[in-house]
């Protein structure tokens, strides 16, 4: 007895439907996992962005204080140099007054450059180091922020490809979606764990 062609067609359709159903299950699981991971990265990325803002604020404050202090010191030093030169040609009666002013400005210069208690550095030198440290922290956090930005871009692309795979039932689209998904997960883990991996070649198109 020959097989009914309609039965073969129906069996083929059922097989295709079964493959598509299994693919949709994999798509749903992948989207759920990727969306959850992306949500975690977004929360951490927000914290990193806040850290960047605070580091930038601290850097601006430290550099502003340092520049003001440095300008004041340079003004005192310039005035002291002028007083010393003027005293050389001053009449004897005026030299005592110059000497007094020179002493006052020497004290001001010494006050600006004096080391802090328990330290060999002046307050101005310490502020300069603090500002440089905040700049370094900002750059470090900016690298992590780039990692989270790339994570968001790659996982969003992967989810879009997964949606297409679900609509079309094409397994190769699912496989293709796994490429940006893997990149996004790796970069997200680097951001979460603080691993200093910054692929400039990948991030440059997004900056």
Q: How many CB atoms lie within 10 A of CB 101?
A: 17
Phi, psi of 177 (to 5 degrees): -65, -25
pLDDT single digits (tens) 48-59: 999 999 999 999
Q: Which CATH class is domain 5-206?
A: mainly alpha
What pLDDT sits at residue 133? 94
Rounded to 5°, the CA angle 46-51-54 comes to: 130
Which residues neighbour 128 within 8 Å (Cβ) at sequence distance 6 or greater?
62, 66
pLDDT single digits (tens) 59-88: 999 999 999 999 999 999 999 999 888 888
pLDDT single digits (tens) 29-45: 999 999 999 999 999 99
- 184: nearest Cα among 30, 37, 29: 37
Letter string b/e over residues 118-143, b meaning 16 or more CB atoms within 10 A of that residue's CB = eeeebbbeebbebbeebbebbebbbb
Query: Confidence band (pLDDT; 50, 70, 90) for 198?
Result: confident
Q: 68-72, 116-120, 128-132: lowest mean pLDDT where?
A: 116-120
- The domain segmentation of the chain, as residue ranges, is 5-206
Q: Which pair of structure tokens corresponds to residue 158?
A: 């992967």
Q: What is the distance between the alpha carbons of residues 104 and 5, in angstroms, rounded to a whole number?
A: 110
With a threshold of 0.85, does the pTM exceed it? no
* Contact predicate 141/45, CB 8 Å: no
Q: 29-43, 155-169, 186-200: lowest mean pLDDT where?
A: 186-200
Region 90-116: what's the mean pLDDT? 87
Q: What is the DSSP letter of 124?
A: H
């Amino acid at each position: 007895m020959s097989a009914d062609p309609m039965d073969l067609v129906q069996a083929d359709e059922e097989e295709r439907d079964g493959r598509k159903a299994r693919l949709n299950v994999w798509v749903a699981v992948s989207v759920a996992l990727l969306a959850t991971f992306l949500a975690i990265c977004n929360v951490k990325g927000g914290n990193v962005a806040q850290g960047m803002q605070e580091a930038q604020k601290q850097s601006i404050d430290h550099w502003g204080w340092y520049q003001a202090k440095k300008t004041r010191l340079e003004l005192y030093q310039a005035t002291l140099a002028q007083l010393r030169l003027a005293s050389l040609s001053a009449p004897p009666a005026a030299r005592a007054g110059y000497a007094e002013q020179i002493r006052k400005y020497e004290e001001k210069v010494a006050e600006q450059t004096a080391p802090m208690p328990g330290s060999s550095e002046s307050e101005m030198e310490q502020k300069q180091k603090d500002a440089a440290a905040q700049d370094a922290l900002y750059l470090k956090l900016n690298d992590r922020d780039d990692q989270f930005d790339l994570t968001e871009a790659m996982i969003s692309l992967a989810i879009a490809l997964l949606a297409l795979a679900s609509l079309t039932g094409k397994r190769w689209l699912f496989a293709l979606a796994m490429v940006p998904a893997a990149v996004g997960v790796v970069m997200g883990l680097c951001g979460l764990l603080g691993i200093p991996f910054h692929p400039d070649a990948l991030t440059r198109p997004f900056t």
